[in-house]
Structure 1
Amino acid sequence: MNINNKTVLITGGGSGIGYETAKLLSQKGNKIIIIGRTADKLHQAAASLTNTIAIPCDITNEVDVDKLVAEINTNHPELSVLINNAGKAFVYTHAETADAVSKARQEMETNYFSLVSLTEKLLPLLKKQPEAAIANVTSIVALSPAAVIPTYSDSKAAVHSYTLSLRHALAQDTNIKVFELMPPTVNTEFSKEIGGEEHGMPASEVAEGLIQGIENDQYQIGVGITVGFLNNFFPTEEQAFQAINQR
């Protein structure tokens, strides 16, 4: 897919993978819209990039999301690429004092429910474009959970499942391509507690992998050690999905 001279919306665009993706795409003549909860941080990020505007928005707040969608439809009706990157994680292990339900609710709200909601509300606009794409950022833990981020892993597994079903549905009668980026641990503020600074992949390299994957129509994009993980453990996932959904 050609990803030059388009309008791209990136959630969680103020830092990490979202910011690095915005930086690279802004250099390709795209108009970038970055979304995030913290207005000051978001505006600073946009000011450091070219062709980029910031729209503060809490994607877990339905009122905020409806205002965002209305603004996009009014002021950026040419939007053709949505990158769902925003995420939330708690580091803990399951135990009787873990308060896992509370943590899981927050993670699922940010990582899954808000992603589904925003995507659904932007589908009518994306369907109007001659070429469009949705890219969901999941994780290697969508395939096998990490015990120190257990319910975060659950939320990413949910997004992985949603992505497969969404891709299948939209392929029937739309021009919307659906991609999934599955990074390993990335060196960001987000992953400090689980060793991201020492062992994480640079966010810039993850962003490069995402863009290359989209340009090459690689719908499931593994980067870093995820590539080997996919090849060694899940080589026939697509065939399994097709077998279940052949009707």
Structure 2
Amino acid sequence: MKLTGNTILITGGTSGIGRALAEALHDRGNRVIVTGRRQSLLDQISAARPGLTALQLDLGDAAAVRRFAGRMRDDFPGLNVLVANAGVSRSEDLSAADWNMDDAEAIVQTNILGVLRVAAAILPQIKDRSGAAFLATSSALAFVPRADFPTYCASKAFLHSWLQSLRHQMRHCALEVLELSPPYVRTALTGVQQLGDPRAMPLEDYIADVFRLLETGPVPRGEILLERDLPRRWAERDGAYDAIFSAMNPAR
């Protein structure tokens, strides 16, 4: 993926990893459009980065996503990069007497259906363009799950598998298909406590590492994965899955 001279659409670009990517890419001279649901955050990011376009979009509204694609074709005909970053994470206790599917449905709606909707709407516009790229935010938890976040981890495992198939099917197009698989990073994904958790990787360090990986050339298998997360990526192959799962999910 080239890092300058693009027109880039980033969903879920008003906070966390999405916002950090948007600001870094804008500062490198790209034309960046971010979407989100909360107008206050959209106003905040566009004020902080004059020239960055911030537009409201609810990925849960299929008709709105289709209308938005038309707007992209009309207003941003040079669009060549899509970053599907919007995601939610919630813990779930499946053993609880009052457990229901509300949180699971919300996660699937955003993390899976949201990605599929925006991909279906935007990829036809960009897939044959020079420098075209599609990047979706998965997670290192796609490889070995945290058992207290079952649907979140499963949604990222879905994305990992789906992106492999998409990459294969797009092999004759100009489109580069990339999977961003972050570790535990200091964002508010699981709540404000994550922002100050010393176990979490500082966001600015993570973004710097992502750009270093992209700058060195094509990433193996299209997976933007930090070296520290390779043991999880290859846990089953290396016979380490049970040990890593147990370490991540200690019995209490």
Question: Match for residue 186 of structure 1?
Answer: 185
Are 1:33 and 1:54, in contact at CA under 8 Å, matched by a contact in 2?
A: yes
Are 1:91 and 1:194, in contact at CA under 8 Å, matched by a contact in 2?
A: no
CA distance in 1, matches of 2:229, 2:193: 17
Question: Match for residue 79 of structure 1?
Answer: 79
How far is the alpha carbon of 1:106 from its aligned partner? 1.1
1:10 aligns with 2:14: no
CA distance in 2, matches of 1:76, 1:128: 16
Q: Which runs of 5+ in 1 are unaligned?
A: 236-247
- Pick one of 223, 228, 231 that aligns with 2:226: 223
Q: Which moved more, 1:20-29 or 1:203-212?
A: 203-212
1:35 aligns with 2:38: no
CA distance in 2, matches of 1:208, 1:227: 18
How far is the alpha carbon of 1:20 from its aligned partner? 0.6
Are 2:88 and 2:111, in contact at CA under 8 Å, matched by a contact in 1?
A: yes
CA distance in 2, matches of 1:5, 1:177: 16
Residues paired across the two proteins, number: 235
1:165 aligns with 2:168: no
How far is the alpha carbon of 1:97 from its aligned partner? 2.8
Are 2:141 and 2:153, in contact at CA under 8 Å, matched by a contact in 1?
A: yes
What does 1:108-127 correspond to in 2, within 5 Å?
Answer: 108-127=108-127
Q: CA RMSD in A?
A: 2.1
CA distance in 1, matches of 2:140, 2:193: 14
Are 2:187 and 2:194, in contact at CA under 8 Å, matched by a contact in 1?
A: no
SS in 1 for 2:103: helix
SS in 2 for 1:191: coil
CA distance in 1, matches of 2:103, 2:162: 21
Aligned residues with identical type, % of pairs: 28
Moved over 4 A (4+): 193-196, 231-235
How far is the alpha carbon of 1:233 from its aligned partner? 5.0
Q: Which runs of 5+ in 2 are unaligned?
A: 239-252
Residue deviations 1:181-230 (CA, integer Å, cap 9, x gap): 11111111113377552121122223233333334221111136323433
Q: Which moved more, 1:129-138 or 1:219-228?
A: 219-228
1:93 aligns with 2:93: yes
Are 1:10 and 1:33, in contact at CA under 8 Å, matched by a contact in 2?
A: yes
Q: Which moved more, 1:219-228 or 1:71-80?
A: 219-228
Residue deviations 1:14-49 (CA, integer Å, cap 9, x gap): 110011101111111100001101011112112212
Cα–Cα, structure 1 residues 71 and 142, in superposed 2: closer, same or farther, change >3 Å?
Answer: same
Cα–Cα, structure 1 residues 152 and 95, in superposed 2: closer, same or farther, change >3 Å?
Answer: same
CA distance in 1, matches of 2:210, 2:201: 13
CA distance in 2, matches of 1:54, 1:193: 24
Report the TM-score when normalising by structure 2: 0.86
How far is the alpha carbon of 1:142 from its aligned partner? 0.6
What does 1:202-217 correspond to in 2, within 5 Å?
Answer: 202-215=202-215, 216-217=217-218
Cα–Cα, structure 1 residues 210 and 60, in superposed 2: closer, same or farther, change >3 Å?
Answer: farther
CA distance in 2, matches of 1:117, 1:5: 26
Residue deviations 1:126-154 (CA, integer Å, cap 9, x gap): 12411200111111111111112111111
Report the TM-score when normalising by structure 1: 0.88
Question: Match for residue 240 of structure 1?
Answer: none
Q: Which moved more, 1:49-58 or 1:157-166?
A: 49-58
